[in-house]
Amino acid sequence: MSNFIIPSVIVLTVIYGALKKVDLFEAFTDGAKEGIGSLISIAPSLIGLVTAVSMLEASGFFDVLTQLLQPVCTKAGIPAEVLPLGLMRPVTGSGSFALLDSIMRRYGADSVIGKTASVMAGSTETTFYAITVYFGSVGIKNTRYTIPAALTADILGMFFAVFSVRLFG
């Protein structure tokens, strides 16, 4: 059934537009122009974010931070094996999913570590990417309390991932 959802939405949109007498091709091209404009406006922010993340990864920053935080996280009951994922997730989606894949291959999906990593990945957001895209697309420069609030939500998501796997896993 899932194979038919997107084509069905497209067909229903075309039928609805035709019934409302909307010039569908013009509406489509106008939307595409607007999308390209948004892409151009957020491109500098995205390039900066990707560059910064690449530099942090290449420099070993995440490895050093993992080593520094490991004793605290161990006392808090967070498996050390998922700590790099927790640090990477707010910064980069592709990097964090590469780590998730590595964790799954190494420990298995049914292990406590695998379950914790899965719940953690699903409970957190690529905070900096989302802020860059959404704020950049509408021209907001001052994020004010957004970053602290979003990172707090990510941290809580990580702790509750560990807690929920221990409780239900």
3 lies in a domain? no
Q: Are 117 and 82 in contact (CB under 8 A)?
A: yes
pLDDT at 75 over 90: no
Domain that holds residue 143: 42-168
Q: Is residue 81 part of a domain?
A: yes
Task: Tell me whether residue 111 is in a domain.
Answer: yes
| Distance, CA of 144 to CA of 45 (rounded, Å) | 17
Indicate whether 35 belongs to any domain.
no
Residue 164 lies in a domain: yes
By CB atoms closer than 10 A (0-12, 13-18, 19+), residue 83 is buried
30 and 22 Cβ atoms separated by less than 8 Å: no
Residue 36 lies in a domain: no
Specify if 136 maps to a domain. Answer: yes
Structural domain includes residue 134: yes
- pLDDT category at 124 given cuts 50, 70, 90 is very high
Sign of CA dihedral 39, 50, 48, 82: positive
- Position with higher pLDDT, 56 vs 96: 96
Our count of domains for the chain comes to: 1
Residue 57 has pLDDT above 80, yes or no: no
pTM for the full predicted model? 0.69
